[in-house]
Amino acid sequence: MVHTNIYKTRREKLIKALGRGVVILKGAPEQIRTNDTEYPYRQDSDFFYLTGYSDPGAACIINPNDSDHPFTLFVLPQDPKKEVWTGWRLSFDETVKVYGADQALDIASFETESLAAMKSAAKVYSNLNHDRDHQHKMLDLVGQVRKEVQRSGGGPEGLESIGSIVHGMRLVKDEREIELMQKAADISAEAHIKAMKACQPGMTEFQIQAVLESHFVYAGGSGPAYTSIVGAGDNATVLHYVKNRDTIADGDLLLVDAAAEFEMYASDITRTFPANGNFSDAQKAIYGVVLKAQKAVVEASKPGVSFQELHDLDLRLLVEGMLEIGLLTGTADEVIKNETYTDYFMHKTGHWLGLDVHDMGKYMVDGDSIILEPGMVFTVEPGIYVNSKSKAPEKYRGIGIRIEDDILITATGNKNMTAAVPKEIMEIEALMARV
Ligand code: GLY
Ligand code: MN
Ligand code: MN
């Protein structure tokens, strides 16, 4: 069922920010994977946020200047010969009812209708993220209209990304979004627990990937929210390791960064655990540093705190910990000033989470970090990565550790949406204990 009221409320909020602008959006194009087959279809996040429409071949116009049809959806027309290949399509009347549109038209008329809508608009907002053909088309159309109205006046002054309005809206999640994100988080948490229980030295990284991803789908998710990372031993030190083809050795740590998408919403979890169920002393030393920083940042996440403050806290705790265990030398201030920590910690502490795993939304405004508000959701994911070629003490080489949870800011503090997956050393060892 499509919750039309939710999307209508979002469009109304958007319209208030538009002035005499018009919004002209294209759904995501299908992407060829290999001859005659496409990647699984995934709707453009901004398009979905405003329409709830998730099938291919669509576009929409949100036009406050058109009082009869402020919201027009363009869809593929019914065509029995094509539908036997790709599935049934709604009629235009059904589309109007299901999606709460004021009218539904054949996608073939999108360009003509866009031109007409642009004529009475002061500005055109469109999705300008990934679809270059659409971007060029919008530029062409704006140029065409401006030429047509040169003598009579009017017409759009420019083309702007819909993101300038919608990405700010997407930063603060509504109740329905939080519900869906919690479901995605729960499925992912269950999958991580299954993976920890299943893991044995001698298995392959892809077998653990299979445990995780089969649960994502079994539990109702659409699949992974991003390409799963399952890295054993030295592979755990490669930030975007996605090959997942190696065998897991006794004594390896396994870093698993994998999570489900549920009804378009992402979760994002990382856990790192010993393949044989027991951390070595060197592994415990680094794990303890990452865990202390991660817990402190989660604890500090509340309304009024800036995103940058969380990163600063994370960095200081990681650096102090790395000094304590002999991974770095000098003082914390020197290490931070000279950025020598970047040998082992080279990414930010977290990112917004929502329809996109790295969700849209600014981190800085006018040079200042965003201040956290209730409804914001982001990850907290410190890590330390000591690869086998590093100059670190021998005992630490080949150890990569990241711990990542999804944090919702609430009125009084935060809710850790992924707290169900163990992260304390004793909890992990107990879960993995073979009886
Ligand atoms: N899984 C992507 C990330 O952690 O940013
Ligand atoms: Mn992440
Ligand atoms: Mn992640």
Q: How many domains does the chain have?
A: 2
Q: Which residues of 371-388 are buried (b: 16+ CB within 10 A; e: fewer)?
A: ebeebbbbbbbbbbbbbe
CATH of residue 417's domain is 3.90.230.10
- Tell me whether residue 402 is one of the annotated catalytic residues: yes
- Whole-angstrom distance, CA of residue 283 vs CA of residue 312: 24
Residues 121 and 245 in one domain: no
Whether residue 10 has pLDDT greater than 80: yes
Residues 231 and 318 in one domain: yes
Residue nearest to atom 4 of ligand 1 (CA): 268
- pLDDT digit string (tens) for 255-306? 999 999 999 999 999 999 999 999 999 999 999 999 999 999 999 999 999 9
pTM of the model: 0.96
Residues 165 and 180 in one domain: no
Closest atom of ligand 1 to 379 CA is: 4
- pLDDT digit string (tens) for 49-61? 999 999 999 999 9
Whether residue 369 has pLDDT greater than 70: yes
Boundary-marking domain end, from 144, 170, 196: 170
| pLDDT value for 394 | 97
* Residue 275 CB neighbour total at 10 angstroms: 21
Residues 70 and 211 in one domain: no
- Tell me whether residue 385 is one of the annotated catalytic residues: yes
Closest atom of ligand 1 to 225 CA is: 1
Residues 191 and 244 in one domain: yes
Residues 66 and 145 in one domain: yes
Residues 82 and 198 in one domain: no
Residues 102 and 224 in one domain: no
- Whole-angstrom distance, CA of residue 275 vs CA of residue 22: 55
Residue nearest to atom 5 of ligand 1 (CA): 358
Look up the domain containing 48 and give its range. 4-170
pLDDT exceeding 90 applies to what percent of the chain? 95
- Tell me whether residue 240 is one of the annotated catalytic residues: yes
Ligand 1: lining residues by beta carbon, under 6 Å: 226, 257, 268, 351, 357, 381, 404
Residues 215 and 253 in one domain: yes
Boundary-marking domain end, from 149, 170, 191: 170
Boundary-marking domain end, from 141, 170, 199: 170
Mean pLDDT for the stretch of residues 333-343 = 97
Catalytic residue among 36, 68, 133, 366: 36
Residues 189 and 112 in one domain: no
| pLDDT value for 337 | 97
The DSSP bridge pattern shows strands 229-232 and 364-365 to be unpaired
Residues 164 and 271 in one domain: no
Amino acid occupying residue 106? D
- Residue 172 region, left (φ>0) first, then alpha (ψ -120 to 50), else beta? beta
Residues 209 and 127 in one domain: no
CATH of residue 152's domain is 3.40.350.10
